[in-house]
Chains A and B, each alone.
Chain A
Amino acid sequence: MQYSDDAVSLSRDEIASVQVGLLRETIARARRAPAYQDRLQGISPDDIRSPDDVRKLPFTSKEDLRAGMPCGFLAVPMRDVVRMHYSSGTTGLATAVYHTRDDLHRWAQCVARGMLAGGVTDEDVFQNMMGYGLFTGGLGFHYAGELIGCMTIPAGSGNTERQIHLMHTFGSSVLHIIPSYALRVLYVCDGEGIDPLRELSVRVIYVGGEPHSDQLCRRIEDGFGAKVHNCYGLSEMCGPGVAMECAAQQGLHVCEDHFLLEVLDPDSLEPVEPGEPGEIVLTTLRREAMPLIRYRTRDIAHVIPGDCPCGSRHVRVSRIEGRTDDMLVVKGVNVYPMQVERALLGIDEVGRNYVITLDRPADLDRMTIAVELTQQAFADDMRRLNALRERIRRRLHSELDIGVEVELHEPGALPVTEGKAVRVIDRRDQEK
């Protein structure tokens, strides 16, 4: 029997009343965690009459989680915990997240809801190309694939030749992959003379795990002849599956019966106008082992107003537009690395990887963007190469509002990380 999910059809009113009930339960559960005992003092479940009343509750930050390591936020006896994950630690010390058996099941339901919304069925062969282990990307999707009834291939990340071999041999129709790695796979297919459009059967791709642009998704779609759906999550909430893009590809539906979303101005911590970008702040509604209240994700996105053609009334958020903490200030201008990516992906002569280097010769900020020239774009003509470099420079200038230097490199010369791509080298502080 095909797996199904009733919560996807909840109306706005139903979602609100579900959230009020679950938020009250969450407060009661969270109190059992040492770190929340004091924070939640004086707050009664009766204070919660609408989802907006979450604003009466205190925030939780990554720093709080670190301070509470290892068990400060654990709200159940350790014997009820069946698994832990450890955050990837991109922004400092890693933190542990605990799960009960029910937490794991509900996590799989969240991801499965997103997969169903993207058209995945038990007929599909699902190749899960995310890292298994402490990182939540692999296991989070694994159990959802099995819940739906896909033949699930726990491929993990890396070993690109074998990944392509698996896709080819077993006719993988659904992938879950980090976007920069998807491009790497296409690159290797190209090198091995494999045409993904004719020789592979991929039709749906879930991407997540690192920030990326719409253009990057379109490139992956064109390369595989598949639809790319964005997936958002973070280990503190569970992992992937907090919000996923449906077949309409017009934003990511938050699983609102599992997570309560706020989008706040990161400075004033007041809600932004609907449609305005702000920091995603999430409250878990069903998590048992480690309920988190108003967790500040540092991810920037905006709510997409209006109703989604797919019929789901669960609120939609945009893809992540940046981080409150990866924003670069160059020559006094705020720059997100993703703007660079967006500008570069519009230029056919440029390959898939780039590295941003910031330095400060003569006390002036300098931003240098190293890009890879594609094989086809190489010309035995200095004027053409210089003209290309000038075109890239102008494009970046108009996108970023600051002048930049552009370096041309050979294909394959820049580092490709088969994981989170490191794209920014900031040497400015070292030069003081």
Chain B
Amino acid sequence: MTASDLLSKQVSVFLENKSGRLAEVCQALGRSEINIRALCIADTSDFGILRLIVDRPDEAVEVLQSAGFSVGSTGVLALRIPDRPGGLGEVLDRLQEVDVNVEYMYAFFITIAGDAVVLFKIDDAALDATLNVLDGAGIQVIPSDEVYRL
């Protein structure tokens, strides 16, 4: 399995701080029957970045672009992490040991067989090192096609 199979495509949307803008994103996706599986919002006083994992990311980009949004897509890693106290900390320790910086992360709403699913944005340059250390630590990266079906 190649790195690109392991990178899930995250859709990111520039959101200005204007009432109803987030709802418009969700409505545009809803009309196209695209399901949101995970999301987070990073915001400042006047704008934000909405990050989405959806079941059909390429279509989502198209739908949102044609609805007039500024849209980008970014590869993120979906990791299975034991859903217990300290589970996430152990993973972060492993990454820390090899100096991999996590730019941001957020979690899926659901768990898989008791494991949480957490999305990590890693610097592109550190991707191979990250996959190696995860492999060595037995932490499973969920392939992108599975992520979209979660």
Contact = CB atoms under 8 A, between A and B. Distances in A.
Interface of A: 373, 375, 378-382, 385-386, 407-413
Interface stretch (B27-35, B66-74, B129-137): B66-74
Contact of B10 (A375, A380, A408): A380
15 contacts: A373-B14, A378-B70, A378-B71, A378-B72, A380-B73, A381-B49, A382-B49, A386-B44, A408-B16, A409-B47, A410-B16, A410-B68, A410-B69, A411-B70, A413-B18
Contact of A408 (B46, B69, B72): B46
A381 B104 CA distance: 10
B42 A382 contact: yes
A379 B47 contact: no
Contacts of A382: 42, 44, 49
A81 to B, nearest CB: 49
B144 interface: no
Contacts of B8: none
A375 B44 contact: no
Contacts of B51: 380
Nearest to B21: A410
B46 A410 contact: no
Given A373-B14, A385-B49, A386-B44, 11 more contacts: A373-B70, A378-B71, A380-B12, A380-B72, A380-B74, A382-B44, A408-B47, A410-B68, A412-B68, A413-B16, A413-B18
Nearest to A411: B70
A24 B51 CA distance: 73
B70 A385 contact: no
Interface in B84-140: 103
Nearest to A377: B70
Contacts of B103: 381
A34 B8 CA distance: 80
A381 B49 CA distance: 8
A389 to B, nearest CB: 8
A95 B46 CA distance: 42
Contacts of A409: 16, 47
Interface in B39-75: 42, 44, 46-47, 49, 51, 68-74
